[in-house]
Amino acid sequence: MERSTAGRHPLAAIRVPSRLSGGNARRIAAAALASGLALTALAVSSAGATAAGGTLNIAVVAPFTGPGANFGVLLSAPCKAAVSVINASGGVRGNSLSCLSVNDFGDPADAVPSVEKAFATTSGIVSAVGLESNTAATVVPLVEKQNIPFFTANGLDSFDRQTNAFFYRMSPADDQNGAAYAVAAKQLGFSKVAVIYANNIGAEGNIPGTLAAVQKLKMKLTINLTIPGDETSYASTVQRVISSKPQAIIFYADPQTSGTFMQNYSQLTGGKLPPMITAGSNEVPDFLTALKPVVSTTYLTKQIYYVGQSLDSKLPAYKTYAAAMTATGAPAALLGAGVISALYDGINIMSLAMIESHSTSGPVYNKAIVALTQPHKGAVVVHNFAAGKAALNALHKIQYVGTGGTIKFNSHHNFVGNFGIVQENAAGIPSQLSVIPGAKVLANA
């Protein structure tokens, strides 16, 4: 994980992932140098308390334009749902909440000036969510400097042992997700798999975990390929995969790449396609839209398995979450994605921490966050913001239990729960087939 940058020169906070090519690394470094003075002068006004009767902004840092714009939809939905529930319950300390879209463009270099500008020009930013894998290396340090708690959706394993006090992650790291795909394939009865990932940070981070788990589970790896995104054809690559004769493919790429790849596969095999195990983050309308024209409905609903953080639809927290997501117009497909509900839970926890600490100041309310998720004697167990607010106002201690169950942060503010295998119907509505214990995945990562 990334280490705290407190007290260091701001340019030292710009980390360049080792997986980036030399060209991308130079672009990131150039962006860091160009923005150095602005970053040095950036006021940390967001950490200050907000007067009652105002608006508390939650920065949703995600790509809202470009090839990764689907992640903007993905990461905004839980914020809108949480804010609707919180505002309906009277808000936080007399303030209403609002979601502020901060475009990171899906690019680590382009993200820097955009994120800097948002924090420099918008008052009342008290927390942040999003911060996905493609831009986390440059964006997380910028948000850390604001001294506000934030819940990230990034999966970079470099954050597994981070030490920044404001960082929280309730979704698996990429190596853990990668292992989960292989464990799911084994659990589904496949022993021969092809592994195909797009050559971007968000996808490639899964490769080590997938390959390690394939080996530990004594499965046969028929072929391991990294493919460029958004090509007009993958016919030659697909032919190599076909020749390797996999029983299933472990596949992770953006919707456009996925559609083209599977179209080529279908053309070369007369429509005969191997089952696909893919990321839970592909439970988005764009993915379904890209595949619908090129594969059969039966394949979409019976042969694609989404694997990610597990949710429990029987839990009270999930029912409140699902109702809020539906009421705010979120796509039904998102209701099966644990990385999404984790951000919803995070916003609830941060808001309850403000009430518990009697402050909207980041450094003050941050001290209450972990305690709100821990069991302790006499605590009232709550499953939503309204119940938590009522209990805190009645001077009770509380334990917030989220959409996936009990939350247990480790010393690095990471939490990994169980994993789920999900399928969608033709309308994109998810259904969880089975649960993979988190301990089983970690043992094979």
Q: What is the DSSP string of 327-390?
A: HTT--GGGGG-HHHHHHHHHHHHHHHHHHHHT---HHHHGGGTGGGGS--TTPEEESSHHHHHH
What pLDDT, on a 0 to 100 scale, did the predictor assign at position 68? 80
pLDDT higher than threshold 60 for residue 37: no
Q: Are 374 and 402 in contact (CB under 8 A)?
A: no
Q: How far is residue 367's CA from residue 231's CA, in Å, rounded to a whole number?
A: 48
- State the Cα angle at 44 between 40 and 49, rounded to 5°: 175
What pLDDT, on a 0 to 100 scale, did the predictor assign at position 51? 59
Segments forming the whole domain that contains residue 124 = 10-172
Count CB-CB contacts under 10 A for residue 398. 23
Please provide residue 200's backbone torsions phi and psi, each rounded to the nearest 5 degrees. Answer: -130, 165
pLDDT in tens, 317-350: 999 999 999 999 998 888 988 999 999 999 999 9
Residue 424 in domain: no
pLDDT higher than threshold 90 for residue 382: yes
What pLDDT, on a 0 to 100 scale, did the predictor assign at position 73? 83
pLDDT higher than threshold 60 for residue 19: no
Report the percent of the chain where pLDDT is more than 70: 88
Q: How far is residue 440's CA from residue 66's CA, in Å, rounded to a whole number?
A: 37
> Which token pair is 237?
């690559």
Q: What is the mean pLDDT of the chain?
A: 89
Q: How far is residue 304's CA from residue 286's CA, in Å, rounded to a whole number?
A: 15
Q: How many angstroms separate the first and last alpha carbons of the chain? A: 17
Residue 60 in domain: yes
Count of domains for the chain: 1
Residue 255 in domain: no
What pLDDT, on a 0 to 100 scale, did the predictor assign at position 14? 31
Q: How far is CA 66 from CA 107, 133, 227, in A?
A: 9, 16, 19
Residue given tokens 């008052």 in the structure block: 123
Q: Which residues contact 195 (CB under 8 A, 6 or more apart)?
A: 207, 210, 211, 214, 221, 223, 224, 225, 249, 250
Q: Which residues contact 1 (CB under 8 A, 6 or more apart)?
A: 158, 159, 160, 161, 162, 163, 167, 412, 414
Residue 84 in domain: yes
Q: What is the dihedral of CA 97, 91, 349, 61, to 10 degrees?
A: 0
Residue 431 in domain: no
pLDDT in tens, 125-176: 999 999 999 899 999 999 999 999 999 999 999 999 999 999 999 999 999 9
Domain containing residue 103: CATH number: 3.40.50.2300
pLDDT in tens, 216-274: 999 999 999 999 999 999 999 999 999 999 999 999 998 999 999 999 999 999 999 99
Q: Are 27 and 39 in contact (CB under 8 A)?
A: no
Classify residue 245 by its DSSP letter.
-
Q: How far is CA 331 from CA 73, 283, 294, 343, in A?
A: 9, 9, 22, 16
Give the residue-averaged pLDDT of 32-46: 41
What pLDDT, on a 0 to 100 scale, did the predictor assign at position 419? 95
Q: How far is residue 405's CA from residue 345's CA, in Å, rounded to a whole number?
A: 10
Please provide residue 54's backbone torsions phi and psi, each rounded to the nearest 5 degrees. Answer: -100, -160
- State the Cα angle at 126 between 121 and 130, rounded to 5°: 90
pLDDT higher than threshold 90 for residue 31: no
CA atoms within 13 A on the CB side of 251: 27
pTM, rounded to two decimals: 0.84
Find residue 252's DSSP bridge partners.
Answer: 197
What pLDDT, on a 0 to 100 scale, did the predictor assign at position 50? 56
**Strand 380-382 vs strand 304-309: parallel, antiparallel, or unpaired?**
unpaired
pLDDT in tens, 45-96: 445 455 567 999 999 999 999 878 878 988 999 999 999 999 999 999 999 9
Residue 313 in domain: no
Q: Which residues contact 308 (CB under 8 A, 6 or more apart)?
A: 171, 172, 177, 180, 279, 280, 281, 283, 337, 338, 339, 419, 420, 422
Residue 432 in domain: no
Q: What region does 147 belong to: left with phi over 0, alpha with psi -120 to 50, or beta?
A: left
What pLDDT, on a 0 to 100 scale, did the predictor assign at position 200? 86
What pLDDT, on a 0 to 100 scale, did the predictor assign at position 392? 98
pLDDT higher than threshold 60 for residue 7: no
pLDDT higher than threshold 50 for residue 35: no
The segment with the largest mean pLDDT, out of 95-99, 171-175, 430-434, is 95-99
Give the residue-averaged pLDDT of 376-402: 97
Residue 413 in domain: no
pLDDT in tens, 269-312: 999 999 999 999 888 888 999 999 999 999 999 999 999 999 88
What pLDDT, on a 0 to 100 scale, did the predictor assign at position 214? 98
